[in-house]
Amino acid sequence: MTIDLHAMTPLLQVFDMPTSLKFYCEVLGFEIVQTDSNTEAPNHNWVWLRQNDIDLMLNTAYEYDKRPPQPDQRRVATHNDIGLFIAAPDVDAVYAHLLACGIQVQPPQVAPYGMKQLYVRDPDGFGLCFQWKANA
């Protein structure tokens, strides 16, 4: 027997919600679907975002009023182990858009398995890969 699954919504622990919201909403075009009800924008502790068919939740690693001045580097080091692969039919357009937004990013490359890929890190160091099958 197989189970019927349809979607997945990752939850990322972020250090500074306003910085993360600026990146995901202003740069990548996500919209806020829902937030926690006990905080005021942009200092939410939890946010549910959506861009087309992509859902993503962000949660602060620390409650807003208890956040230390700097991220714990031991905790942030594990962010290198996270990779979100996002389908993007025009990887070159994503590259141009990120550059126009002041994001430092290397040009897309075609992987040996035929996917054109553009890698970038979000403000917390989580890896994002925008990819699409390369043209033959």
C-alpha 69/C-alpha 60 separation (Å) is 14
In the DSSP assignment, the letter for residue 36 is: -
At residue 64, the pLDDT reads 67
At residue 75, the pLDDT reads 79
Exposure on the CB side of residue 80, measured as CA atoms within 13 A: 3
Residue 129 is which amino acid? C
- What pTM, to 2 d.p., does this model score? 0.89
What is the pLDDT averaged over residues 72-101?
Answer: 91
pLDDT(62) > 90: no
Percent of the chain with pLDDT over 90: 71
CATH classification code of 11-133: 3.10.180.10
On whether the CB atoms of residues 55 and 7 are closer than 8 A, the answer is yes
Torsion 66-69-75-76 (CA) sign? positive
75 Rama sector, left if φ>0, alpha if ψ -120 to 50, beta otherwise: alpha
Considering only CA atoms, which of 106, 82, 86, 105 is closest in space to residue 29?
86
At residue 1, the pLDDT reads 82
Torsion 121-122-125-128 (CA) sign? negative
